[in-house]
Structure 1
Amino acid sequence: MNAIIWNVRGIASVATRRRLKKLLQLHQVYLLVLLEPFILRQNFAYTRRYLRFDMGAKNESNKIWFFWNSGTNVTVIVDHPQFLHVRVEDPRLARAIYLTPVYASCDATIRRDLWAGLHHISHDMDDPWLVGGDFNVITHDGERTGHNTHNRGTIAFSDMMLDCGLEDAAYSETLESDFIDHSPLLLQWVSDDDLGPRPFRFLNVWTKHHDFLAFVSQK
């Protein structure tokens, strides 16, 4: 089952809509998340029909648009100005998953409310949970060249991931974007039976976290 998350930076452009429609067809996308649509709420239904989705939801700030078809059951659990937390059930999935598309504020102070919201969700999260989108912050200097990121909320972001039990899933495929600086991210779910034995994973980035040793000693 395939999904796309894309900070589209405006869906009003004819070229953007055509590009998106081709991506949906090429990759057989069943779930679509658009960030920063930059058009009014009343255009939501038109966009859904144009992209040939049956259902849709948007968060209260109108920064996150989420589309799916009638064969998929999506339940909106939390509607937040910086994220939309949903439960997804589909015959192509072995079990239900939770998906939390994020569009974070550029203001580090306002992002604190986002981190708190995700932390609250994590308390009762025992099922597969994917959190993704535009966080407007990075976890460490290696993710961006030519910039000092120590004052950009990186510690708060890393703290949130650690507290919520989230891991950086890394990636093997982002889709090319011809005209904006944000590339669409293609997500693919596969059956556990296709994966074979689960490998041991360790993320070196955690060793650089200021609470790493204290956290490990508590486990």
Structure 2
Amino acid sequence: MEPRISGPKADDFIRRSGFTSSFRVEATGFSGGIWVLWKDIVQVDIIVVSDQFIHAICADISGNNRFHITFVYASPTRCIRQGIWAQLQALEPPDLSPWVLGGDFNVIGNPSERSGGSQARSGVCTRFTDFLFDTGLLDMGFHGPMFTWRRGNLAQRLDRCLCSSNWYSYFPSSEVYHL
């Protein structure tokens, strides 16, 4: 969740949300911030925290079904965002356990994920496409509107979910919805 609020307002919202547990990286002004909220039917162990992602290991209450999950809010500023790809690649589970990453990556992977704006630039981030190639992560696709961000006549798909190839073996009914 990209909340755009922090401090006491965030505390109040989380308290009223009905979730029993939470963890967050505070927003800086109206930019960034990542919230992870969950109920006691799942165990969440936060492993690595950065201003651009939260990485955790999750398990159902029995502890039998474990997976890695990474919540992403990549900086919209390219020079700040550049280092995230190596940091995320370093999180790849060594034991081939299922891994899912989701959130606002603030990049596009191919020209079809962009409409409008300057025709002089494609907007494709080669560091992101290299990251996908190097990790073998799959884009989970989506249901709903194509674009997740708009400004003026420019629209882009900046939000997405990625997963390891064995994610679907454990969670074959996984789907992503753009609301």
TM-score by length of 1: 0.59
TM-align CA RMSD? 3.5
SS at match of 1:122: coil
Identify the structure with the greater helix proportion. Answer: 1
Q: 1:74 to 1:47 in 2, by over 3 A?
A: same
CA shift, 1:127, in A, is 0.9
Provide the rounded CA distance (Å) in 2 between the counterparts of 1:74 and 1:149: 44
Map Cα deviations across residues 83-125 of structure 1 (whole Å, 9 max, x no partner). Answer: 0001111149962111111101111111122111101112626
8 Å Cα contact 1:97/1:128 also seen in 2: yes
1:46 to 5, 12, 19: 12
User: What residue is the counterpart of 2:141 in the other structure?
Assistant: 170
Map Cα deviations across residues 166-207 of structure 1 (whole Å, 9 max, x no partner). Answer: 111112357xx9xxx99x989xxx9959959xxxxxxxxxxx
Provide the rounded CA distance (Å) in 2 between the counterparts of 1:149 and 1:137: 17
Q: Which runs of 5+ in 2 are unaligned?
A: 149-154, 162-166, 174-179
Provide the rounded CA distance (Å) in 1 between the counterparts of 2:67 and 2:120: 33
CA shift, 1:78, in A, is 0.5
Q: % of aligned pairs identical?
A: 28
Runs of 4+ residues deviating >3 angstroms: 91-94, 147-153, 190-196
User: What residue is the counterpart of 1:136 in the other structure?
Assistant: 106
Matches within 5 A, 1:195-206: none
Q: Aligned pair 1:56/2:22, yes or no?
A: yes
Task: Compare CA radii of gyration and give the structure with the larger one.
Answer: 1
8 Å Cα contact 2:139/2:160 also seen in 1: no
SS at match of 1:159: helix
RCO comparison, higher one (Cα < 8 Å, 6+): 1
8 Å Cα contact 1:101/1:131 also seen in 2: yes
